[in-house]
Each structure stands twice: as C-alpha cells, then as structure tokens.
C-alpha cells in the first residue's frame, strides 16, 4: 500500500465522526437515580428503570440536559427549545427495554461548528491542492444527507418530509451560519485553520456492558454465550455528529482532542477514551481530487485512542485507495480497527435492523426549554480552552503552543493561573516552560499526582524567577523541583543551600574565559577560522573551570566577544 501523504495527493478523503461522550461528571443515570459507576461489581447499580422492568418509567436527569446544552453552546450550536425523546428499537440485550431512548430529528443542539487549527507535521497530510476554491467546493458537495450519517438519522430524514408534523417545524430550523465559518488557508509555516461543522448533538442513554465468553479475544464471533452487566445501562450519553468536513486523519485526531478539551473544561465528563467514556466512530470515503460525487463510505469502530483514530483512518484511506486503484469496489460496511495488526477488518456484528421504528416516547414529556434555562447554562460555562489560550498568548506573551497546552487542561490552567497570581507577569513564559515541561516531567511517573498536590504556586513562581534572572540554569530546574516537591521549601533556599547559584558577574566569568582560551588555543583558532560549532566545547571547558557555577549563556557571549 502507498503512504498516506502520497495517497492524499490523488484522492480526497471525506471523513465524518460520531462521538459518544458519557456524562461521567453526573451523579446518576439518565432516567433513574442509580449511581453512575465505571468499575463496580456487575449488576449492583440497577433499578426497575435501567433494568427495563415491566412498569418502570423514565424521568430525565436535569443536569444531563444542562450538560448537553452547555456542550452545544460551547460548540457554537443552536440550542433547540422544542425537542422530544424518541424510542429507537432494536432487539439486543445491551438495551434492557429493547429500545434506546434517544432524540428525534430535532436534537437539543443543532448546526454548530468548531474551527480547527492544524499545525506541525500533521498539517502536511492535507496537500497544497486542497485549499482555496477546492476546499469550498469540497465542503459544498459533501453535505450530511450524503455520507457520514448513521441509519437512525437517515430514517429521520424521511420524517422531516412529513408535512406539518410537530417536529416538522424542522423546516423553520436554522441551518449553518456559513458566514461565520473560517475559510481554510495555509500559512507560511504550513499550518492552517479549517471549520468543521457539527450537524447535531443529541441526548441518549448508554447500553449495558457485555462480555462474550468462549470467542477469540472476547469478541462476539465464536462466543458460546454472552454475559451482561447493566451497571452502565442508562448512563447519560451525548452523541455529537460532525458533517463530513474532515479531510485527513490528523484533522480527525485534532478535532477529537479539541472536543475533549472543551468537554473536560465544561466539567461534564472525564472524557477518557481508555475507559470508554469518550468513544469515536469514523466514516470515511474517498473520491478523486476534484470530483464532487461522493464515494462509498465505510464505518470504522474500535478507534479508542487518539492514535487509533488517526492510524485507523490512515490505514482505511490507504486500503480504500488501493482497492479503487486496482479497479475494485468499496462496500458500505462496518470495519474494526486492529491496532496490534495495524489493519481494519470487516466486523461480524449483531443482525442489524435498519428500521429502528422510531417514534416519540410517550412516557417522556416534550421539552420546551426556556430562555432562562439556556441562559443559566450559558452563565455556568467557564472560559473555554481557545479563549484561554488566546488570553495567555496575548496578555502574558506566552508561546501559542504552550498556551494551548496549558489552556487545554482545566487543572493545569487553574494551577498556572494560581502561579501567575503571585508571579511577575514578565516571567510568564518561564512559568509556562516549567508547567509544560519540567513540572510535568517530574509528575510523569505518577499518574495520580497533580500539580496542585505536589507544588505550591509560590514555589513555582520563585523558581521561575530564579530562571528568569539566570540565578540557575534551565537544566538545573529539575534538581530544584525534585527537592521542593511535596515540601514547603523555598527554591531560593534550596539553590543557596546546594550552592547551585550561577555566577553572573562578568569580571569573574571573564577570568575563567581568559584561562580557557589560553589553554585551548587550537580550538580558539578553529573558531576564528569559522568553525562555529567549537564554541560548545569552549563553553563546556568554562563550565568545568568554574566547577559548574558559571552562567553558560554568559560564557557563550563572553567567549564570542573575546574571539571576535
């Protein structure tokens, strides 16, 4: 198979994502008061409602509705005041009622978008030919009706046509505010920004967990029996469906990461792909560059890490290209990504009924959200990662990449802000360097440790100051961090106790430089002859001569001055 980047020169990949997020921050399930848990003993958090017992009836969790409204507002969706829950029927034991309670043609959140900033190496996946007019045409010809939609939505498409239906008010539904969407343009450094439209975010309930016994790797095929644990059944779940606006696996990965940062910041979910509280299915089809007709899509499952999402899509794009180039045909099917073998295989699934017999759930009253309800949700939305990043970048002059990283994690951002509350604003980049690199590296070994547990903001501010004033060298930070972690020790005292303070006095440093240059005349000459690299050797000699206490940066400058 050809490499991805090569394939994408000839073929355009049209990718849509369906992202399920469990609202793990809630106390209870979607329609009953059972505790939300991830790893308790099987079937210990079940009640008549989530076990689907005869006579049980659902009552929606207010915080779940608030959470999805917040998710919609944070992704620029239009919040639909009127919507209903529907029943989606399929016979499968992971759904205790043999129907899933989900939403109909009108979801709480419709027609949003996120601007995706693609930087670094991954930006090269999108070839130069996919910008400007080509991009606009590509977007226009890949609307939601055509690809990327699961069977339930295409089923609803029929309902939209029903004249004067209660939800046929759909006709009056706004569509995308195209004017507000960014246009993709490649910047000089290769990075670019593209808008990704979000068709809808709807509210539903999660299924039970099943264990397949006797089959290969716990898969369903060949299993002799299956065991069911209903603890997860009824967990509040929001499903976000993008338009097929993504064009590279990197964009898909970044979109997912961005969404994760937003949801984590909203405090609605822990968004753990590992634990399955955030899950992603990808739809992908190929078409020749310049074509407007969409190809046949496949649906990818088991994309349960950011890497799997990227690599699974990359593989599938290359596979489809190979099939098509050899004159073969792509079949609409669901494929399973096998990370260990780095391939996708056709999934053997339950018998899928395409006709889910959707209808409005008569046991659940409709929703007519009030302005007050929506505004209350809006007021509870904290500063979102993009805004925070921009603020750090503009107000504190922090490098955009660092700002993005800090802003993306609420705990990190909170800690950073606590440090900045006592630090010198001019030293913000030093603080950022510590937070992003040194402190994170120190904590890396211990997954449970947090910045706030290990360090006092004042310690970090003091350490940043030591670095900013060259009192210690950047490579000495880790030693100070190790010494101060979990203590109340002042970094300055640590530096002094250990004699780590750098000598910055030019007079003293010049003496060292002179001594080294006298000893290393050959190397000095090499430098003068144009070998710039030799300066490193000379700085090293100065450091040795000063027993490590001299400021290497200053040595470098003094050496260059002395040799010029």
Partner 1 sequence: MARNIDALTAAQVSAAVAAGELSAVEVARAALAAIEAREPQVQAFLQVTPELALEAAERVDAARAAGEKLGPLAGVPVAVKDNMNLIGTRTTCASRMLENYESPYTATCVQRLLDAGCVPVGKANMDEFAFGSSTDSSAFHPTNNPWDLERVPGGSSGGSAAAVAAGMAPIALGSDTGGSIRQPAALCGVVGMKPTYGAVSRYGVVAFGSSLDQVGPFGRTVEDVALAMDALVAGGRDLYDSTAQDVAPSFAEALRAAEAGLDGKRIGLVPAFMEAEGLTGEVKQGVLAAARALEDAGAELVEVDLPHVDAAIAAYYVIGPSEAFSNLARFDGIRYGYQEPGCASLAEQSARSRAHGFGAEAKRRQMLGAYLLSSGVYDTYYYAAQKARTLITADYTAAFSQVDAILMPATPHAAFRHGEISDPTQMYLSDMYTISLNIAGNGGISVPVGLGAGTGMPMAAQLVTPAFADERLITFGAVIERALAGDGGSVLGVAPAFAGKGGELA
Partner 2 sequence: MALTEDDVRGIADYARIALEGEELAEMTSYLNDAVAMLEPVLAYNLPDVEPTFHPIGDLSNVMRADAIEPVRDLARDAALGNAGSAREEYFRVPSILGGE
Query: Residue 55's binding partner, choosing from partner 1, partner 2, none, with beta-carbon cut-off 5 to 8 A by kind?
Result: partner 1
- Between CA 80 and CA 83 the distance in angstroms is 7
Applying CB under 8 A, does 20 fall inside the site for partner 1?
A: no
Closest to partner 1 by CB, 56 vs 384, is 56
Applying CB under 8 A, does 220 fall inside the site for partner 2?
A: yes
Smallest distance from the beta carbon of 238 to partner 2, in angstroms? 15
Closest to partner 1 by CB, 86 vs 315, is 86
Could you tell me the CA-to-CA distances from 115 to 181, 245, 277, 464 in Å, in that order?
A: 8, 11, 24, 33
Write the DSSP string, 373-404: HHHHHHHTPPPPHHHHHHHHHHHH---HHHHH
Smallest distance from the beta carbon of 359 to partner 2, in angstroms? 8
Residue 173 makes CB contacts below 8 A (sequence gap 6+) with 78, 80, 106, 110, 111
Bridging pattern class, strands 298-301 and 334-338: parallel
Q: How far is CA 34 from the centre of its chain?
A: 29
Smallest distance from the beta carbon of 81 to partner 1, in angstroms? 18
Query: Residue 3's binding partner, choosing from partner 2, partner 1, none, with beta-carbon cut-off 5 to 8 A by kind?
Result: none
Closest to partner 1 by CB, 99 vs 392, is 99
In the list 225, 274, 329, 371, the residue contacting partner 2 (rule: CB under 8 A) is 225
x/- contact string, 347-386, with partner 1 (CB under 8 A)? Answer: ----x---x-xxx-xxxxx---------------------
Q: Which stretch binds partner 1 (CB under 8 A): 71-79, 116-124, 159-167, 368-376?
A: 159-167
Write the DSSP string, 175-228: ---GGGS----B-TTS-EEEEEEEEEEEEEEPPPEEEEESSGGG-STT-SEEEE
Which of the residues 36 through 95 are near partner 1 (CB under 8 A)? 48, 51-60, 87, 89, 91, 93
> 40: helix, coil or strand?
coil
Which of the residues 243 through 302 are near partner 1 (CB under 8 A)? none
Which of the residues 57 through 86 are near partner 2 (CB under 8 A)? 59-65, 84
Cross-strand bridge partners of residue 110: 78, 200
Smallest distance from the beta carbon of 269 to partner 2, in angstroms? 14
Write the DSSP string, 290-342: T--S----EEEE---SHHHHHHHHHHHHHHHHHHHHTT------EEEEETTTT
Token readout for 315 is: 């593989």
In the list 348, 394, 528, 547, the residue contacting partner 2 (rule: CB under 8 A) is 348
In the list 6, 27, 177, 446, the residue contacting partner 2 (rule: CB under 8 A) is 27
> 269: helix, coil or strand?
coil
Catalog residues that contact partner 2 under the rule CB under 8 A. 26-28, 32-35, 41-49, 51, 59-65, 84, 91, 93, 163-166, 211-212, 220-230, 348, 350, 353, 355, 360, 362, 364-370, 373
């Amino acid at each position: 198979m050809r490499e991805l980047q090569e394939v994408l020169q000839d073929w355009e990949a049209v990718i849509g994502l369906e992202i399920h997020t469990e609202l793990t921050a809630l106390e209870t399930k979607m329609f009953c008061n059972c505790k939300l848990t991830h790893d308790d003993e099987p079937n210990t958090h079940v009640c008549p409602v989530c076990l689907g017992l005869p006579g049980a009836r659902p009552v929606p969790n207010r915080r779940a509705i608030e959470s999805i409204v917040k998710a919609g507002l944070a992704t620029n969706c239009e919040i639909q005041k009127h919507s209903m829950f529907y029943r989606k029927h399929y016979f499968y034991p992971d759904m205790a009622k043999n129907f899933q309670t989900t939403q109909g043609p009108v979801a709480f959140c419709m027609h949003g978008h996120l601007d995706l900033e693609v930087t670094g190496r991954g930006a090269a996946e999108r070839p130069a030919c996919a910008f400007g007019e080509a991009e606009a045409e590509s977007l226009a010809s890949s609307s939601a009706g055509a690809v990327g939609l699961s069977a339930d939505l295409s089923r609803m498409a029929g309902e939209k046509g029903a004249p004067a239906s209660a939800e046929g008010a759909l006709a009056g539904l706004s569509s995308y505010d195209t004017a507000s969407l960014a246009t993709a343009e490649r910047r000089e450094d290769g990075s670019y920004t593209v808008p990704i439209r979000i068709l809808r975010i709807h509210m539903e309930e999660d299924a039970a967990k099943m264990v397949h016994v006797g089959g290969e790797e716990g898969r369903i095929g060949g299993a002799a029996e299956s065991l069911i644990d209903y603890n997860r059944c009824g967990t509040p779940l929001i499903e976000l469906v993008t338009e097929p606006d993504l064009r590279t696996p990197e964009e898909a990965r970044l979109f997912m990461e961005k969404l994760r940062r937003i949801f984590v910041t909203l405090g609605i979910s822990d968004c753990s792909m590992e634990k399955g509280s955030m899950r992603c299915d990808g739809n992908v089809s190929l078409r020749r560059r310049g074509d407007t007709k969409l190809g046949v899509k496949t649906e990818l499952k088991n994309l349960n890490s950011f890497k799997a999402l990227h690599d699974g899509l990359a593989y599938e794009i290359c596979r489809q290209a190979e099939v098509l180039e050899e004159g073969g045909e792509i079949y609409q099917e669901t494929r399973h990504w096998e990370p260990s073998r780095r391939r996708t295989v056709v999934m053997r699934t339950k018998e899928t009924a395409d006709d889910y017999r959707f209808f409005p759930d008569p046991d659940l009253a409709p929703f007519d959200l009030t302005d007050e309800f929506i505004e209350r949700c809006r007021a509870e939305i904290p500063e979102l990662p993009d805004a925070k990043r921009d603020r750090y970048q503009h107000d504190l002059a922090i490098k955009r990449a660092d700002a993005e990283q800090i802003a993306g994690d609420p705990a990190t951002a909170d800690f950073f802000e606590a440090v900045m509350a006592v630090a010198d604003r001019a030293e913000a980049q030093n603080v950022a360097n510590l937070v992003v690199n040194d402190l994170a590296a120190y904590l890396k070994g211990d997954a449970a440790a947090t910045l706030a547990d290990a360090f006092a903001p004042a310690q970090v501010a003091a350490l940043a100051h030591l670095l900013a004033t060259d009192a210690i060298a950047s490579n000495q930070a880790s030693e100070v961090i190790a010494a101060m972690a979990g203590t109340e020790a002042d970094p300055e005292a640590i530096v002094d106790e250990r004699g780590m303070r750098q000598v910055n006095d030019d007079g003293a440093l010049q003496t060292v430089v002179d001594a080294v240059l006298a000893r290393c005349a050959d190397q000095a000459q090499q430098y003068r002859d144009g070998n710039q690299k030799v300066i490193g050797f000379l700085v090293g000699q100065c450091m040795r001569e000063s027993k490590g206490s001299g400021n290497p940066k200053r040595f470098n400058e003094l050496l260059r001055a002395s040799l010029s």
